[in-house]
Amino acid sequence: MSTDATAAPSPSAEAVVAALDLPTKVRLLSGRGFWALEPVPAGPGGSGGIDGIVVADGPHGLRCQVTAADHLGLAPAQPATCFPTAAALGSTWDVELLEEVGAAIGDEARALGVSVVLGPGLNLKRHPAGGRSFEYLSEDPLLGGRLAAAMVRGIQARGVGASVKHYAVNNQESHRLVVDAVVDERTLRELYLRGFEIVVTESDPWTVMCSYNRVNGTYASDHTELLTTILRDEWGFGGLVMSDWGATNDRVAGVRAGLDLEMPGSEGAFDGEVLAAVADGSLLEADVDRCATRVVELLQRGRLDGARPDPQHEQHHALARRAAAEGSVLLVNDGVLPLAAEGTIAVIGGFATHPRHQGAGSSQVNPTRLDRALDTIRERVGGAGTVTFAEGYDARTGRSTPRQFAEALATARAADVAVVFAGLPAAWESEGFDRTTLDLPDDHVRLIEALAATSTPVVVVLSNGGVVHLPWAERVEAVLECWLGGQAGAGGATDVLFGDAEPGGRLAESIPVHVAQLPADRNFPGQPRQVEYREGPHVGYRFHDTAGVPARFAFGAGLSYTTFEWTDVEVTGDGTDRTARVTVTNTGDRAGSDVVQVYVRDPESAVHRPHQELQGFAKVHLGPGERATVEVPLDRRSFAVWDVAAHDWLVEAGRFEVVVARSSVDPVQVVPIEVASDDVVTPVPAPVDLVATDEEFAALLGRPVPTPKAVRPFDRNSTLEDLESTVVGRLLSSVVVREGAKRAAQEFPDPDDATIEMVRSSLKEGPVRMLVLMGGGILDFAQADVLLKALDGRWTSAARSVLAGLAARLRRP
Ligand code: BGC
């Protein structure tokens, strides 16, 4: 007989917590080391203990460090499949595929003994220069939300949890650890929270990770409205909220607000404050219990029973290759693609042998293998043709020597076609800092332009995590945007180049003609302590379409190798309960995929709204001659606006237009419908300009535009950069940066330039509190407070704090 049948049911999390004393409960609210949760200790007689569990990054593969017990997280990661980054996955518009990728990541997590995957990431791409663009899915919350929900479903179907991150309004890297994102309520709801809302309501993630930054003045980690009122009370989230690594600002406020778990463990740094707050009545023990219960629930849920499955690396490599092809967007093609495997094919560019396949930072996977385009192309062509190669530029720096340049030109001239690999060198984009330009390296552009001037047809294959300026795009024969395509990205690109796979991608973000077009550019990345979202909803295509300023390549755009005919467009249903329907026929002679996009417009609104917004989509794969009727459901939310006065979603009665489209600028049919509604919406006038003036912004915020927080007096949220205004602060900063870099070198053994810059900026822009939380015990809060007062010249206060500390120590038994 199986023991399970007779085993006593495990006690509920509430019952477990009820049996613990306060210090034990408080200990559960912070992790153990970098990647683990504290176990529940066994009760008297050894019964009732629950093992700790392990979490690991995310989001496009596992970054699971070899020694989970290492409290600093300084160890190389175990090999895992590096799937295409979110920039590429977002471009697939393929819900099923993302579920499949999620499931594969879930399987690998189980294989590595990981119970929670830290991903997907779904912050909105407010500005294309955001350093972490490659980790996020889209500029549109519906597309990002639906795809992230699919990934969560996939991961969690394998019995491990996902952690949806970074909640919320973490749309830049510059000063992400302390910056205050000032955003009006309607924009917050319609853009920056909507994706999270979709994921929470559609996929029930086990956990959500709060972001580092402040949102309208309050750190996300202390934000009751975000963490409890909206997330739990409105959206019905039933899981656990953990902090981003080192994001906990004030643990007592966090417990009150609904931040269940502090990560990583800070070796009890906050425990004293939490215990004291319960003792003096400023924090209810019931709040501690609630957080502890959620931690215990996660421990129970995350227990990995049974043997570890095989990680199936070979199958996952093949899936990664398919996903890379599905996410590659064909932007230009005069017919040169797909290539025939014959004649002389010149492969040009350092990225053909040193692929850019993922971005630097916490998402950096140690891939199980890595495709190189020169190899995959040679393999594909075999003996049928000749593949020549010229480096053209240095993959690391992006710079060409005159010799490399001349060789590339000569190689291209002697070939029937030149395939040029270009994009952003690793050092140009990373977690931890934003880009300062959307330009490609000068020498990449020079090379592309010189090649375009030869008589050889030129195909440009791009590898970049965030969008780049493409002023030369119409001067070459083809442009294939492959993003950072993961370990099989080169194979996926090869499949597309030779027509073995369809370029399945459509842009999940607009490619502007120039970054200066964008209203968000005027307040990006803002000031070190404050970034103002004065463009409101005018982000990406919402801006381009509303302002009538075309992007170079529009949201939703992407070419195919086959042709599709769309017929029988109709919108059925009543009120806001509608279905858009279209029959798609593959009229070409090869298999392919198309994406039906449904936008909704409110042409006669009392509320200023973007010209149109994506409210549904579906991807369809069809063989030659095949047809399918695609249905895209719409509901109340597809028509609603967030009404600030009513603090609710309202639908204005009247005429709407349902736009069934191939991209945001390519409507196939506009179907007018009437919607009846009793809602009384509060009128919102159009702004004079798409960037709000002080007065307009204050009106949108419902309060004066805040003044950025002053640098002095110093406090726990002062950054090393702030402290550098003093002589001792400069000394401290240089020591911390030097030592921090040494430690990071162990985590990223062969750091590239981006990693070095990420570490430097994270340290310099990090608040002093993080030195306490993540410094491995080098400093405690009492010492940090004294130090800050002393640096500020508040000597008497500093001396008083030292004496108080001494007295407390002497009083201890
Ligand atoms: C990142 C998170 C990541 C965590 C753990 C943080 O710096 O922002 O996305 O999950 O580190 O590596």
Query: CATH 3.40.50.1700 in the chain, residues?
Result: 319-508
Q: Which residues of 545-575 are buried (b: 16+ CB within 10 A; e: fewer)?
A: bbbeeebbbbbbbbbbbbebebeebebeeee
Instruction: List the beta strands (DSSP E) in 512-563.
Output: 530-532
* Distance in angstroms (rounded) separating the CA atoms of residues 31 and 297: 15
Contact 161, 115 (CB under 8 A): yes
The catalytic residue among 184, 222, 244, 594 is 244
Q: Which atom of ligand 1 is nearest to the CA of 121?
A: 9
pLDDT of residue 470: 98
Helix or strand (DSSP H, E) at 338:
none
Q: Is the pLDDT of residue 47 over 80?
A: no
* Cα of 150 from ligand 1 centre, angstroms: 21
Whether 586 is in the pocket of ligand 1, judged by its Cβ within 6 Å, is no
**What is the Cα–Cα distance from 553 to 781, expressed in whole angstroms?**
51
pLDDT at 307: 83
**How high does pLDDT run on average in the chain?**
94
Q: What is the DSSP string of 560-600?
A: -SS-EEEEEEEEEEETTEEEEEEEEEE-SSS-EEEEEEEEE
Three-state secondary structure of 552-571: CECCCCCECCCCEEEEEEEE
Ligand 1 centroid from CA 32, angstroms: 16
At residue 256, the pLDDT reads 98
Distance from the alpha carbon of residue 199 to the mean position of ligand 1, in angstroms: 19
Cα–Cα distance for residue pair 678/431, rounded to 1 Å: 46
Q: Which residues are paired to 436 by β-bridges? A: none
pLDDT attached to residue 795: 87
In short, whether 400's Cβ falls inside 6 Å of ligand 1 is: no
Q: How far is CA 118 from the centre of its chain?
A: 11
Residue 118 Cβ inside 6 Å of ligand 1? The answer reads yes
Closest CA to 57 of 91, 34, 30, 23: 34
Please check the confidence at residue 282 and state whether its pLDDT lies above 80: yes
Nearest to 441 by CA among 540, 324, 350: 350
What's 516's DSSP letter? G
Q: What does the DSSP 8-state code read for residue 69? A: T
pLDDT of residue 743: 77
Tell me phi and psi for residue 548, to 5 degrees: 70, 30
Q: Which of 35, 55, 57 to mutate to test the pocket of ligand 1 (most atoms within 8 A of CB)?
A: 57
Determine if ligand 1 sits within 6 Å of the CB of residue 245: yes
Give the pair of three-digit tokens for residue 342: 């014959």
Residue to substitute in 245, 747, 755 for testing ligand 1 pocket (most ligand atoms within 8 angstroms of CB):
245
* 387 DSSP β-pair partners: 345
Q: Using 50, 70 and 90 to split pLDDT, how confident is the model at 364? A: very high
Counting from 1 in the atom list of ligand 1, the atom nearest the Cα of 118 is 10
Q: Summarize pLDDT for 2-39 with one digit per residue, the tens.
A: 344 456 678 999 999 999 999 999 999 999 999 999 99
| Mean pLDDT in residue range 164-179 | 97
Enter the tokens of residue 547: 């302002």
pLDDT category, 653, cuts 50, 70, 90? Answer: very high
Q: Alpha carbon of 163 to those of 184, 244, 409: distances in Å?
A: 26, 10, 48
Ligand 1 atom having least distance to the Cα of 73 = 12
Whether 244 is in the pocket of ligand 1, judged by its Cβ within 6 Å, is yes
The correct CATH number of 319-508 out of 3.10.20.580, 3.10.310.30, 3.10.105.10, 3.40.50.1700 is 3.40.50.1700
Closest C-alpha to ligand 1, atom 8:
244
Q: At a CB cut-off of 8 Å and minimum separation 6, what does 307 contact?
A: none
Percent of the chain with pLDDT over 70: 97
Atom 3, ligand 1: residue with shortest CA distance: 362
Annotation marks residue 244 as catalytic:
yes
Q: How far is the CA of 238 from the centre of ligand 1 (A)?
A: 22
Chain centroid to CA 138: 9
What number does the ligand 1 atom closest to the CA of 119 have? Answer: 10
Helix (H, G, I), strand (E, B) or coil at 770: helix
113-122, 316-325, 719-728, 734-743: which range is least confident on average?
734-743
| Separation of alpha carbons 469 and 514, rounded Å | 6
Question: Mean pLDDT lowest for which of 14-18, 704-708, 800-804?
Answer: 800-804
Is the Cβ–Cβ distance between 656 and 592 less than 8 Å?
no
Nearest to 245 by CA among 265, 219, 231, 260: 265
Q: Is the CB of 426 under 6 A from ligand 1?
A: no
651 CA to middle of ligand 1, Å? 38
Query: What does the alpha-carbon distance between residue 788 and residue 226 come to, in Å, rounded to a whole number?
Result: 30
SS3 annotation, 164-176: EEEECCCCCCCCC
Cα of 681 vs centre of ligand 1, distance in Å, is: 40
635-640 contact pairs (CB < 8 A, 24+) = 635/576, 635/577, 635/578, 636/576, 636/577, 638/576, 638/578, 638/600, 639/576, 639/600, 639/602, 639/675, 640/576
* Separation CA 581–CA 631 (nearest Å): 5
**Letter for the amino acid at 511?**
I
Query: Residue 75: its pLDDT value, please?
Result: 66
Q: Which residue's CA lies nearest to atom 11 of ligand 1?
A: 245
Q: Report residue 808's pLDDT band, with 50, 70 and 90 as the boundaries.
A: confident
Average pLDDT over residues 391-396: 97
Nearest CA to ligand 1 atom 4: 245
The residue nearest atom 12 of ligand 1, judged by CA position, is 362
The answer to whether 106 and 319 are in contact (CB under 8 A) is: no
Mean pLDDT of 507-534: 97
pLDDT number for residue 243 = 98
pLDDT band at residue 290, thresholds of 50, 70 and 90? very high
Pocket test for ligand 1, best of 62, 213, 244 (most atoms within 8 A of CB): 244
HSE-CB at 722 with a 13 A cutoff on CA atoms is 22
pLDDT of 172: 98
Distance CA 288, CA 290 (A): 5
Instruction: Name the helix (H) or strand (E) containing 402.
Output: helix 402-413
Ligand 1 centroid vs 362 CA: distance in angstroms? 5
> Is the minimum distance from the CB of 167 to ligand 1 under 6 angstroms?
no
- List, for residues 60-87, the tens digit of each pLDDT value: 999 998 764 444 455 678 999 999 999 9
Side-chain-side CA neighbours of 377 within 13 Å: the count stands at: 28
Residue nearest to atom 9 of ligand 1 (CA): 362
Main-chain dihedrals φ then ψ at residue 774, nearest 5 degrees: -120, 5
pLDDT at 3: 41
Task: Compute the Cα dihedral for 619, 620, 621, 625 and give only its sign.
Answer: negative
Q: Which atom of ligand 1 is nearest to the CA of 211?
A: 8
Q: What pLDDT does 548 receive?
A: 97
What are the CA-CA distances from residue 54 to residues 35, 38, 72, 466 (Å)? 6, 10, 15, 31
The token duo for 399 is 């710079």
Topology, domain 564-682: Immunoglobulin-like (2.60.40)
Do residues 238 and 298 touch, judged by C-beta distance below 8 A?
no
Give the torsion sign (CA, 161, 162, 163, 167): negative
3-state secondary structure 665-708: CCEEEEEEEEECCCCCCCCECCCCCCCCCHHHHHHHHCCCCCCC
- What distance in Å separates the CA atoms of residue 358 and residue 133, rounded to the nearest whole number? 11
Query: Is there a cis peptide before residue 120, judged by omega within 30 degrees of 0?
Result: yes
Q: What is the 245 CA–ligand 1 centroid distance (Å)?
A: 6
- pLDDT value of position 45: 63
Nearest CA to ligand 1 atom 6: 245
In which residue ranges of the chain is CATH 2.60.40.10 found? 564-682
755 CA distance to ligand 1 middle (Å): 14
Residues in Cβ contact with 73 at an 8 Å cutoff, skipping those fewer than 6 apart = 33, 34, 35, 65, 245, 264, 747
- Is the shortest distance between the CB of 57 and ligand 1 below 6 Å? yes
pLDDT at position 740: 83
Cβ of 510 below 6 Å from ligand 1: no
